């Protein structure tokens, strides 16, 4: 055990937060711009997108509510946020810009919510919490990018809204692997359950069937 893990454990962090049905899936910002290392991508984002294909297929098979998010600003930038002031290149993510469109591998289908946002969290200033609550979601599986940015912000807000966040570790990515690992560690200690995709699918299936995984 590392010194960091030791002090967190001694102080009571990192307790188990068991997945509880019903489940939903949130896919954060897997858009073309974040799949392109020359735009906003890099690191392990491509691998996370590929892994999310199986997660999304399973969610559809199980009839979970599914949400996709896009960062989208007005063409004239009138709705620029503090995040856009910090990273002005984000203002290129406009409604009809190819970079703001969801990657071909994860195209939404009918009945799935496509949520536009201008801040890191999928919950901030959006109808997401109400949409999930209306569908009875207790545990929200989360995929997307970046781990240290919009994924983390959405995880924290999911918890604050009373959902159990389950971060699917091989379905989230970041241009910085160091930031990716550090934020996974921190979210595990404070905010969320962390599982790789295969383990998450087995655990959620067991919960839905009312048996021990």
Cα angle 199, 48, 65; round to 5: 65
Residue pair 170/48 in contact (Cβ under 8 Å)? The answer is yes
Residue 150 known to be catalytic: yes
* Residue of 51, 145, 150, 171 with catalytic role: 150
Residue reference for tokens 């007005």: 74
- Classify residue 173 as left (phi > 0), alpha (psi -120 to 50) or beta: beta
Residue pair 202/213 in contact (Cβ under 8 Å)? The answer is yes
Sheet with 139-145, side-by-side order of all strands: 113-117, 66-71, 23-28, 139-145, 164-173, 193-195
Which residues are within 8 A (CB) of 197 and not within 5 positions of it... i.e. 6 or more apart? 51, 54, 55, 168, 170, 171
* Cα–Cα distance for residue pair 43/29, rounded to 1 Å: 15
* Cα–Cα distance for residue pair 58/53, rounded to 1 Å: 9
Active-site residues, by number, are 150
């Amino acid at each position: 055990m590392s010194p960091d893990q030791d002090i967190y454990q001694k102080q009571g962090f990192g307790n188990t937060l068991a997945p509880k049905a019903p489940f939903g899936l949130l896919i954060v910002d897997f858009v073309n711009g974040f799949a392109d290392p020359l735009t906003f991508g890099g690191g392990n984002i491509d691998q996370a997108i590929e892994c999310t294909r199986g997660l999304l297929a399973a969610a559809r098979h199980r009839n979970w509510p599914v949400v996709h998010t896009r960062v989208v600003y007005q063409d004239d930038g009138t709705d620029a946020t503090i995040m856009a002031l910090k990273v002005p290149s984000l203002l290129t993510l406009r409604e009809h810009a190819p970079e703001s469109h969801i990657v071909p591998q994860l195209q939404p289908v009918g009945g799935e919510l496509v949520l536009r946002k201008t801040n890191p969290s999928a919950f901030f200033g959006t109808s997401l919490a109400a949409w999930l609550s209306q569908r009875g979601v207790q545990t929200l599986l989360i995929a997307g990018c970046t781990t240290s940015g919009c994924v983390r912000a959405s995880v924290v807000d999911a918890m604050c809204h009373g959902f159990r966040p389950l971060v699917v570790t091989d379905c989230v990515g970041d241009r910085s692997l160091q930031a990716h690992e550090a934020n996974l560690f921190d979210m595990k200690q404070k905010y969320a359950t962390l599982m790789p995709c295969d383990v998450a699918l087995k655990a959620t299936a067991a919960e839905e069937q009312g048996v021990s995984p």
